[in-house]
Amino acid sequence: SSHRPKTLAFFEYWAKMLSTLYLGAVAVALFGGSNGQSLCQNSIYGTESACVAIGCFWTGSACQQPEACAAQSNDVITYNGAQTGVTVLRYPLDPETIRLCNDNTECSAMYRVQMMPKFVTGPPNCNDYAMLPPHGVDQTSCAEIDPIAYSAADMKDYVGHPYPDDGVKQSVAKAELSVTALTESGENCSTTRFPDRNPQCAFPLGFKSDTIIKNLGICVEITNVRDKWVEIMGSSREGSNGASYCARDRNAKINHEEACTVSGDLIDIRESGNSIGSDNMNIMFYARDNNDDAQMSILWRISASHMPSTDFNSTTEKDAEDWSLYRNGGDFPSALMEPYPANYEGEPVFEASTESSSAWHIPSAFAVFASAAFTMLLL
C-alpha cells in the first residue's frame, strides 16, 4: 500500500516520543534533574516536541519552566482601582504545573505583602500596619487616637464594603445575618496587570482568601517589618471540614518557628526576621494533616506593630514588647456576623431585660419546686 510508509513513520515517531518521555520520567523520579536542574531543564527534553509534550515552554533553543512559574514583581492587587499592599508573585498553580517549576516548588501561590499604615486594622487600639483594606471596619477614629502614625486623609470607613452602595447585595447579606465582606467573593481580584478582574474583592477585616492544596503551601514574603512584632492570622472557611493547618518560617532550616491549629482559627505573634535588623520575613501556610489530599479554603492576614519590638533608647515607646497584649485575639472574619440565627425569637443573651429582679427568680423558683415535688413522688 502507498500509505504504509507514512503509517509506519507515524507510529515510529510516537513510539520514540513515548519512549523518551517514559525514560525521562523514570530518570527524574529516580535521580531528579541533572545537577539539581528542574524537570524542564533536564537534557532528555532537549527537543521542542519532547519539551512541549510534558507541559514545559520551548524558547526556540531550550526547554524552560512554564511562564506561570516565574515570579512577577509589579502585579499589585487593587481595590476599586487603588493599589493595596499585596503583590502577586505567583498565581495559584496546580501540583502538576508546580512540578515543572525551577524553584519554590513547595509554593502553590506566592505573595509579597507590605505593611502600610493606611490599612490599619482599626479601633479600638489602632496600633498596627497591615496589608489590605479592612472591610467591615471604620478606620477614621485612628487618626484621632494616633495622629502621628495615621493620616486622616488615609483613614476610611470600610463598613459595608465591598459594594457599600449596592442595595441588593447589602439586602442579601443582611438576610443571612452577615455582611458583604463575607458573602461576596474574595477570589480572582483585579490587579495592576489585570484590571478587568473582580474590582471589588472582599477582604473581611483585611483578610485575603486562598486555598491550600495537597503537599503545597501559600508562601508569603512580608516587607517593612524591620525590628517589629508581626501578627500572623488564619481562619478556615466554610467547607474546610475543620482541617488543621500551620504557618512556619520558610527561611529557618532548623528550629523554625511554627504555629498550628487543631481546627478553625490560627493566631501567632512573633518578632520579625531571622536576624536582627532584617526588614523582611518569609512564612508559609500549609496543611498539617491529610496534606496529600488537602483542598482547604482559608482566610489569612498579616499585620505588624507600628513601633519597634525592642526599646533601643529612651525616646522609643516604652514596653514595646507589650504590643501583643493590646491585640484583639478575636479579630477574625466571623466576628462580622450577627450572633443570632434567622427567626430567633428568644431574648438576646447580652441584652436580657433587668427591669424586675423577680422576673429572673420566678423561673428558678418554679424549677426548684418542681424538682422537689418530683423527688417526693419517687420516695
273-306 pLDDT, tens per residue?
544 545 678 999 998 776 666 688 999 999 999 8
204-263 pLDDT, tens per residue?
999 999 999 888 999 999 998 877 889 999 998 765 555 688 998 887 655 567 888 876
pLDDT of residue 358: 30
pLDDT of residue 285: 94
pLDDT of residue 270: 85
Q: How many residues comprise the chain?
A: 379
33-51 pLDDT, tens per residue?
444 567 888 867 778 888 8
pLDDT of residue 368: 40
pLDDT of residue 90: 94
337, 182 Cβ separation under 8 angstroms: yes
Confirm whether pTM is higher than 0.85. no
* 130 Rama sector, left if φ>0, alpha if ψ -120 to 50, beta otherwise: beta
Query: If the chain, 379 residues long, is cut into consecutive pieces of 10 residues, what is the mean pLDDT of each piece?
Result: 55 53 43 56 80 88 88 87 96 91 92 96 92 98 95 97 97 95 96 95 97 91 87 81 79 70 82 61 85 79 80 47 76 83 53 34 40 49
The backbone torsions φ and ψ at residue 202, rounded to the nearest 5 degrees and listed phi first, read -90, 130
Report the distance separating Cα 165 and Cα 179, nearest Å.
13
pLDDT of residue 240: 57
78, 192 Cβ separation under 8 angstroms: yes
Neighbours of 51 (CB within 10 A): 21
3-state secondary structure of 233: strand
**Residues in Cβ contact with 92 at an 8 Å cutoff, skipping those fewer than 6 apart:** 108, 109, 210, 211, 213
